[in-house]
Homo-oligomer: A and B are copies of this chain.
């Protein structure tokens, strides 16, 4: 006999948590729909050459082969995100799609990683992307940020902060203070929340004391998240490029405020970079810190050449992803998900105790369902009544219906509210009112 267990790093829900995950997915989908992102799904499996083409760490890829051929070199693998497959899809279907193409995709990806808290080998991402075949104006960035803001607001879990930056700003700044090892320095700046004392590491990169001080100044001003201070900090410098970038940043920020985003939720943070090698660094970058400890549960980039491996055409691209599996597991850990007391999607349980009543009871069941009420009938009529009610109670089914000899004769039902134990008689002819009430409750 095999011991049944899930595999380390692969998360599975109990039914009550699945309901919460579904609710999150539905809310996300609704918001993505409102903002006209069309739904898309890509295949879970890609060619290894597609997966490894230029931008990822091979170590994390799961390869796939027919079990029978297990010793052959695999040429297929599971996708590790939803972006590389989309780049392949866009290039493949570029003549069939209308651009700018906007898609939403809520699907799983897989990565080999050492299992650790909030890091899973199989996980949901909820992505939106805007891809153009010509120019992609800054309004696309605004649209994406606004959609994510509305989505996270609707999820109503706690507090989140969206950080925006123009990565060119950071690169320009390092150039301005004569830093040569740009990539290594940015990688270090990116770790500022994880590493306590960055100074010796900067010194290892041969940065001078006054350069390091300037970088700390930037980090400092970034941590303030104060729009005016940041603009002021740079405003002394007369440089056309810098002025353009700052005004772009300003436009995004002010447009979002104009759309009603509160200042608490959106901050300009010039020190954010999130790596350089995987993502091309063009306009903005955003991710979300959340709760007091700033867990990243979502991030966003703009690329210019994501499809360059597949197509001669250029597709500027803005992308945002909510790390759904991670978000849910963080929220669970922090007890920020209200316990969904209803363990099922069932509203009503109809008791089933005697063969002679079954025929009419089934007709009643049909009536409930056809009026949009999720209704269950207890399957085993040999189970005692109190046990059937206990079953409803275990599953947190709020209502129980009794429809036996007496009721069938009188054309009525007994309707029991389990929470209060109250029981009322309702005429069959007045069921429509009950259905309406039950639907309003949802």
Binding site for B on A (CB under 8 A): 1-7, 10-15, 18-19, 21-22, 33-36, 38-50, 53, 58-59, 61-68, 70-71, 73-74, 76-78, 88-89, 91-93, 96-98, 100, 102-103, 108, 110, 112, 122, 130, 132, 134-137, 139-140, 142-143, 150, 255, 258-260, 309-312, 343-346, 352, 358-359, 362-363, 366, 369, 372-377, 379-382, 391, 394-395
- Is the CB–CB distance between A309 and B7 below 8 Å? no
B62 and A143 form a contact (CB under 8 A):
no
Q: Which 4 A-B pairs have the closest CB atoms?
A: A36-B376, A4-B92, A10-B43, A61-B67
Given contacts A2-B49, A45-B122, A139-B352, contact A74 B70 (CB under 8 A): yes
B5–A92 CB distance below 8 A:
yes
With A122-B45, A379-B136 known as contacts, the answer to whether A1 contacts B310 (CB < 8 A) is yes
Query: Does the CB pair B62–A38 fall under 8 Å?
Result: no
Complex CA gap A285/B301 in Å reads: 52
Shortest distance from the beta carbon of A368 to any chain B beta carbon, whole Å: 9
Cβ contact within 8 Å between A258 and B359: yes
Complex contact A2–B374 (CB within 8 A):
no
Measured between beta carbons, the chain B residues less than 8 angstroms from A11 are 43
Q: Which residues of B contact A4 (CB under 8 A)?
A: 50, 88-89, 91-92, 310-311
Contacts of A64 in B (CB 8 A): 62-64, 78
Q: Known contacts A45-B122, A362-B258, A375-B34; is A63 also within 8 Å of B67 by CB?
A: yes
Q: Give chain B residues whose Cβ lies under 8 Å from the Cβ of A13.
A: 40-41
Q: Which residue of B lies closest to A308 (CB)?
A: B1
Find out whether the CB atom of B380 lies under 8 angstroms from the CB atom of A258. Answer: no
CB-CB nearest in chain B for A371: B34
Contact in complex: A369, B67 (CB < 8 Å):
no
State whether B366 touches A260 (Cβ < 8 A): yes
Q: How far is the CB of A125 from chain B (nearest CB, A)?
A: 14
Q: Are B143 and A66 in touch, CB under 8 angstroms?
A: no
B6 and A92 contact, CB distance less than 8 A: yes
Q: Which residues of B contact A102 (CB under 8 A)?
A: 376
Q: Is the CB of B255 within 8 A of A359?
A: yes
Contact present for B39 and A19 (CB under 8 Å)? yes
